[in-house]
Amino acid sequence: MNQSTDLLNAARAEALFTSPLSALGQPGPAEVTDAIRRSVRAHRGTRGCAIEVAGEYGDHPETAVPRMRWALQCIEAMHPRHRR
């Protein structure tokens, strides 16, 4: 996997993290894609999502860590890494 794909997946995970989608369920690809799209719009871009994530890690690290783990797992399931 190249660096640009890693950065894209990180941005996707941050957007999913900031979405209202529940981490308790198993959302499908369409739900995840829609949640990412809405979150990026709501936060005025991926930088806004990153700022929100940083704030949550600062204010609520005990819930931010498992939520980001969930977001990364969702993104990895949709966009698996191809190792060489």
Decide if 55 is inside a domain: yes
Q: Is 66 inside a domain boundary?
A: yes
pLDDT digit string, tens, across residues 19-39: 999 999 889 999 999 999 999
Residue 15 falls within a domain, yes or no? yes
State how far the alpha carbon of 40 is from the alpha carbons of 15, 28, 66, in Å. 6, 18, 21
Domain span at 61:
3-78
Is position 83 within any domain? no
Task: Evaluate if residue 9 carries a pLDDT over 70.
Answer: yes
Q: For the whole model, what pTM was predicted?
A: 0.90
Inside any domain, residue 46: yes
Measure Cα distances from 20 to 2, 5, 6, 15, 74 in Å: 29, 24, 23, 10, 14
| pLDDT at position 36 | 98
Alpha carbon distance 26, 36 (integer Å): 15
Domain count, the chain: 1
